Amino acid sequence: MQDYIMPKPQIKFQEKRRYEILGGKIYYMARASINHNLTAGNIFSIFKTFLKGKSCRVFMDGADVHFSENDTTVPDVMIVCNKDIIKKDGIYGTPDLIVEVLSPSTAERDIGYKKDLYEKHGVREYWIVNIADRSIQVYLLRNDVYKLDKIYQIYEDYVLKKMEEDEIAAIVSKFRISLTGFEDLLVDIEEVFENVE
């Protein structure tokens, strides 16, 4: 009796592996960890809830942003307020806000090349989210250059115990987005990292 061998599924190339194009070079993207997905999902949910009934749109990992022929990225979360750049196969232009959640395979590009790329193309606000230390670095575009606005972080209990009262009082756990029309949205860092182990 011959063993039955399951036929391999026919998968098109573009469905096999996701990738970004940075400086004309293809970078394949590894599968995200559970904590990465939870964090990006939490941020997406915060934005989606706030934007209900508003003109800006929020997109999660999977939507390509075509900056040029040599640069296409797949941000973890982004907000796009210009509906004219939203096409069926991706975003063709500059999002207003981009969030990248660091992972070991992409951290260097997120902090380096992509930060410079987003700055060059005028992304007005850029978040670098680090799950390892539960922090968010917020960069704002000022005179065409990114300036670090603030780092928001959740501190472990053992760190808090070593801090003075005035240091603890100075910790900011809620913050606002710089974009016009987002003044009523208060982002709680605890909610960003909710259920993240």
Residue 193 counted as domain residue: no
Residue 60 counted as domain residue: yes
What's the whole-number mean pLDDT along residues 126-151?
97
pLDDT at 197 over 80: yes
Q: Starting at the edge strand that comes first in sequence, how are the strands of the sheet with 86-87 ordered?
A: 25-28, 19-22, 71-73, 65-68, 90-91, 86-87
- pLDDT given for residue 61 in this prediction: 81
Residue 196 counted as domain residue: no
Which of these, 175, 174, 173, 114, lies nearest to 146 by C-alpha position? 114
Which structure tokens are listed for 191? 């909610």
Residue 10 counted as domain residue: no
Question: Residue 2 — very low, low, confident or very high, per pLDDT cuts 50/70/90?
Answer: low
Residue 8 counted as domain residue: no
Measured between alpha carbons, how far is 1 from 51 in angstroms, rounded to an integer? 61
pLDDT-above-90 percentage for the chain: 77
How many domains does one find in the chain? 1
- What residues make up the domain containing 52? 18-188
Residues 6+ apart with CB under 8 A from 195: 38, 42
Output the pTM of the full model.
0.89
Q: Which of 6-10, 159-163, 164-168 has the lowest mean pLDDT?
A: 6-10
pLDDT at 1 over 70: no
Which of these, 94, 84, 137, lies nearest to 119 by C-alpha position? 94
CATH number for position 83: 3.90.1570.10
Residue 1 counted as domain residue: no
Question: Residue 74 — very low, low, confident or very high, per pLDDT cuts 50/70/90?
Answer: very high
Residue 134 counted as domain residue: yes
